Chain A
Amino acid sequence: MGSNRTGWLLLAPTLIILGGFGIVPFIYVLWVSFHQWNPFGANPAMIYNGADNFRRLVFDTEFLQSVWFTMQFGFFAVVSEIVIGYLLAQLLMRDFPGKSIFRTIHTLPLIVAPIVVGSVWRLMTTPSIGIIPYYLNHWFGYQMNIGSSATAAFVTTVVMDIWHWTPLVTLTLLAAIVGLPKDPFEQAQIDGANRWQIFWHITLPMIRPAILATVFIRLMDALRTVDEIWMLTGGGPGAATRYVGLHIWKIVFPKTDYGYGSAISVIVLYLTLVMCWLLYVGLVAPRVKRST
């Protein structure tokens, strides 16, 4: 009984913080999502409107388009980060001159604030002064302008995200690879397995939980990205890079439509959970063994 009480006492700070900063705000957002509320409008009262915000949302082409763009952004960014991160983790498993300097420099993007990353990339991609359009034009004759080309803007946002977050993936996969037992690899080499077979049948299954955890973290981050994109493209050209986080920001802050913004936030949270759950079911959930 005493140890039970001690256990709850030790858990209490975490539960209080989780409740105060996670669960209570979520319930409040859920509550607001069923209301029409514009606190800076002519009528600042919160008016219950049932499921009207959600009804509006499923017909809102701007929102649906932003969800589609966000899915594309999340897919390309996360897949690229996992592939490049894994290759870099394998590289860091080997010894080469300047390895520690490389590792330090490679990890530096992680400590840069997203808003700074966005502003630096904006400088680097501005046509008249940016280094990237200059070299793309100099080497390939390609006129890069993220202010007018939707494709260029989309690709730039993906590349920026890869640049910023691949080091995190590298570090998590490196930790997973370092922790792998040596025996199965030695056994496979003795049995004559080639590199691809070792990767596909031993390494990949053994680091699958680490990959999944990394994909979850990165996917959740990618789906709620705002500041980098806001700084780099502002959601443009047109609405080509108006990802869903930015869309929510535009609804809640410039338009001060808190009810509708909350409804979108709830649905985005729902979509994120569904995607992570589907990944979990597809990759690691234990299957039912049915006897035929």
Chain B
Amino acid sequence: MEHNIEEETPVPRGPKHGFLPIVTNWFDRLFIGIYLFVALELLWMRFLEQSIPLTVCHVLAIALGALIVWKG
């Protein structure tokens, strides 16, 4: 009975080199995503909410967070 070693070996979830200028793991990227989420929400409330609803910011911030976690 032969096992395919490549299929069984788990993919390591260690440091990753994405578009961010520093070496990060998934938790770092999640953290950066949360930082940016909060910053965007606060800035939106201060400067843009009078003309564009906050829901747009939620969508953009979540999309940005997902992009950072996935590709960052």
Once bound together, how far apart are the Cα atoms of A274 and B37, in whole Å? 12
How many residues of chain B are within 8 Å of chain A by beta carbon?
16
State which residues 49-72 of B face A: CB under 8 Å.
Answer: 49, 54
Closest beta carbon of chain A to B42's beta carbon, Å? 6
Inter-subunit contact B22/A281 (CB<8 Å)? yes
B42 touches A58 (CB 8 A): yes
Q: List 9 A-B contacts (CB under 8 A).
A: A51-B54, A54-B41, A59-B46, A270-B35, A274-B35, A277-B31, A286-B15, A286-B23, A288-B22
A5 interfacial contact with B, CB 8 Å: no
Assess the A58–B22 pair: CB atoms within 8 A. no
Number of residue pairs spanning A and B whose beta carbons lie under 8 angstroms apart: 35
CB of A268, distance to nearest CB on chain B (Å): 12
Q: Are A287 and B23 in contact (CB under 8 A)?
A: yes
Residue of A nearest to B42 (CB): A58
Residues on A facing B (Cβ under 8 Å): 51, 54-55, 58-59, 267, 270, 273-274, 277, 281, 285-288, 290
The interface residues of chain B lying within 8 Å CB-to-CB of A286 are 15, 22-23
Q: Which residues of A contact B38 (CB under 8 A)?
A: 270
Q: Please, which residues of chain B bring their CB within 8 A of the CB of A267? A: 42
Shortest beta-carbon distance from B14 to chain A in Å: 12
- A218 and B53 CA atoms in complex are apart in Å by 39
Highest count of chain A CB atoms <10 Å: which of B20, B45, B49: B45
In the bound complex, CA of A285 to CA of B22 (Å): 6
Let me know if A288 and B42 touch, CB within 8 A: no
Interface residues of B in 4-47 (CB under 8 A from A): 15, 17, 20-23, 31, 35, 38-39, 41-42, 45-46
CA distance A6 to B54 in the complex (A): 48
- List 20 additional contacts besides A286-B15, A287-B23, A288-B22; criterion CB under 8 Å: A51-B41, A51-B54, A54-B45, A55-B45, A58-B42, A59-B46, A267-B42, A274-B35, A274-B39, A277-B31, A277-B35, A285-B22, A285-B23, A286-B22, A286-B23, A287-B21, A287-B22, A288-B17, A288-B20, A288-B23
